[in-house]
Structure 1
């Protein structure tokens, strides 16, 4: 059953998404960076977001992470979630998004992109669906097709994944699969 909180034209566009590309800091994490005394960095990731990514991938929607920082923790998280398309240390994200779309045989209209700051702005603007989070500066959200209710690092990605699953018509089957008794 489609999510009725979105206008019909946006729902139609959501149903065609075949790649979800995400920024990391401020989207998959809350944007804060924690540095240890040895100089190492730590981040927190929400388990709801991870489950949403796995659910989306299970129905054939690819997921990519495109981030400005280079972090071993992000590589570990991507590997744990089975995210094959990880691009770190990227200053200009739109060229990477275009190249990845081309490699996967997709049009940008089939791509949803979620970001929260200036390096994400061109990708938000040019993707089939540009998404931002409420913790982003207002001038970023002004260019998005949709701003999630949940902030980055606190289930925003899960909100996106659930909405895409509903728009694609995969939601009821996903619930049914998880309602089954495994025994």
Structure 2
């Protein structure tokens, strides 16, 4: 199936966190408090998805209050943390939100993401994803995780689906 045809079917965009929404580094202070950095453009692009009617989700293998805070801030309704078996969680998400594979775009970077990347209607990864992941995807971003990769993926979806000119009208005034 052509890439543009796949993109036209997408209604929901789902993200891995470490290595995609963040740079993959986990930083702790002396008290064990975890820190992560997120790119502001990724967050803004997620808001743009919502503005034109897309749904968003996160499926991450780790559990982090920082991720819960970021998801709440961005109004990401589908948040699944501690997902060691991401495919089982993906299937749960599909059932819970009455979705089919063809409606879901997923971006990941590591071995744990491969089963979901194989199922999702549109699969993407960051350029420094492992080779086994890069072989499974439709799109490899130019930006690295935590450096705008999610935003780049979102822009591609919005452009190919024809939403970008409508979004940009607001900013060209």
- TM-score interval w.r.t. the shorter chain? over 0.9
> Is the aligned partner of 1:176 residue 2:130?
no
Q: Which runs of 5+ in 1 are unaligned?
A: 1-7
Indicate the residue corresponding to 1:157 in structure 2: 150
CA root-mean-square deviation: 1.1
Pair 1:27 & 2:20 matched:
yes
1:6-85 aligned at under 5 Å gives the runs: 9-85=2-78
Q: Give, in whole Å, the separation in 2 of the partners of 1:144 and 1:112.
A: 11
SS of 2:19's equivalent in the other structure is coil
Question: Where does 1:84-103 land on structure 2 (aligned, <5 Å)?
Answer: 84-103=77-96
Structure 1 residue corresponding to 2:125, chosen from 108, 129, 132:
132
Tell me how far 1:102 sits from its aligned partner.
Answer: 2.4
Deviations 1:95-138 (A, max 9, x none): 21122122222210110111111111100111101111111111
Give the structure-1-normalised TM-score: 0.91
Mark the runs of 5 or more structure 2 residues left unpaired by the alignment: none
Secondary structure class of the residue paired with 1:174: helix
Q: Contact 2:143 / 2:152 at 8 angstroms: preserved in 1?
A: yes
Q: Whole-Å Cα distance in 1 between the matches of residues 21 and 128 of structure 2?
A: 12
